[in-house]
Amino acid sequence: MKEAKFEFQYKVYDSIDELPEEQQMLLNKAKEATDKAYAPYSKFKVGAIAKLANGETISGTNQENASFPVGLCAERVLLSSLSSLYPNVGIDTIAISYKSENQVSDHPVSPCGICRQSLQEFESRVNHPIQLVLGGLTGPVYVIKSAGCLLPLAFTSEELT
């Protein structure tokens, strides 16, 4: 028997003010995007902004539905829009923020499991790592060098061949 270990490093900034200018701009746009989210049930609005490898930016917000399983997370809305508008263009950075009516948005939250799988597969498909910038409306900010770091032992298309 062998033991294996998975770990990754990420940067923790005390506030958005410590980020490089481009990351500050993206995180501020993600915060603004939360106002466009449709989250009447959870009251948890998420905004995601991507800077593409071609320099374009695109946004996504969560979209809930009274039939709960039908809702979409901001990250998957963003990836769907991107895949339609800019097929096969890599994403350099995605900034993700949230605003909740039920709690203070003062710390980063990470993408859910389905979004982690979707981000990992997109990275693999276009062969381009996606840097993540995660932050609430205030408080610390996490910068993760690749979305794939969030999904160790990922199920990939190679398992289906």
Token pair for 53: 């490898």
Pick from 105, 115, 103: which is nearest to 75 by CA? 115
**Strand 131-135 relative to strand 91-100, pairing:** parallel
Active-site residue among 3, 32, 75, 123?
Answer: 75
**Total residues found in the chain within this entry:** 161
Spatial contact of 103 and 95, defined as CB atoms under 8 Å apart: no
Residue 71 CB-density burial (10 A; 0-12 exposed, 13-18 middle, 19+ buried): middle
Pick from 79, 101, 99, 77: which is nearest to 88 by CA? 79
Three-state DSSP state, 120: helix
What is the spatial distance between Cα 115 and Cα 65, in angstroms, rounded to a whole number? 17
Q: Is 75 a catalytic residue?
A: yes
**Which residue numbers are catalytic?**
75
